[in-house]
A and B are shown apart, each in its own frame.
Chain A
């Protein structure tokens, strides 16, 4: 995750009376789609690279 507000907080169109925030990318999924779809239960791996081995509790 980026720790800079940077350009992910944008206003559009420029004179709209609200702030528009886009979350895109940096998606982490613990479930995979395999070629033999249907045979793999959820949470059978440790998740994406860099993800904690145990489930997060912040959701």
Chain B
């Protein structure tokens, strides 16, 4: 059987990002490999999309958008913020996107896309399924 190189998943979905100042630990809690909803359309529970980047410079709009893989040019959800990256290519930036208002109309395959200044940085394909 032929081998296929795996891909690195650039966007991590989790219940939340947990910061423990006393232990000086930052952790992701409750990783999601897929999303399951009891009915459609329905709102996904609060969750966090996380990424770690470096090498960015300057400032611009950082956007997270969600679309169906069947219609990648039609976002169904997005949020944006103006950000400024540090002038240090070695410094990492962690991105925490707190999602509260994302609604899926139907089950299927969806893309989470993170972009900066209108250009895609990374994306994540995820299955949205009906709870059985």
What total of chain A residues lie within 8 Å of the partner, measured CB to CB? 40
Query: Once bound together, how far apart are the Cα atoms of A24 and B16, in whole Å?
Result: 13
Instruction: Provide the residues of chain B in CB contact with A12, threshold 8 Å.
Output: 19
Report 23 cross-chain contacts, Cβ distance below 8 Å, ordered by A residue. A16-B26, A17-B92, A18-B91, A19-B85, A19-B92, A19-B94, A20-B93, A21-B62, A24-B98, A25-B79, A26-B81, A28-B77, A28-B79, A29-B103, A33-B103, A38-B39, A40-B105, A41-B106, A42-B41, A55-B71, A55-B75, A59-B75, A59-B111
* A interface residue numbers (CB < 8 A to B): 1-6, 8-9, 12-13, 16-34, 37-38, 40-43, 55-59
* B interface residue numbers (CB < 8 A to A): 19, 21, 24, 26, 39-43, 52, 59, 61-68, 71-86, 91-106, 111, 113, 115, 118
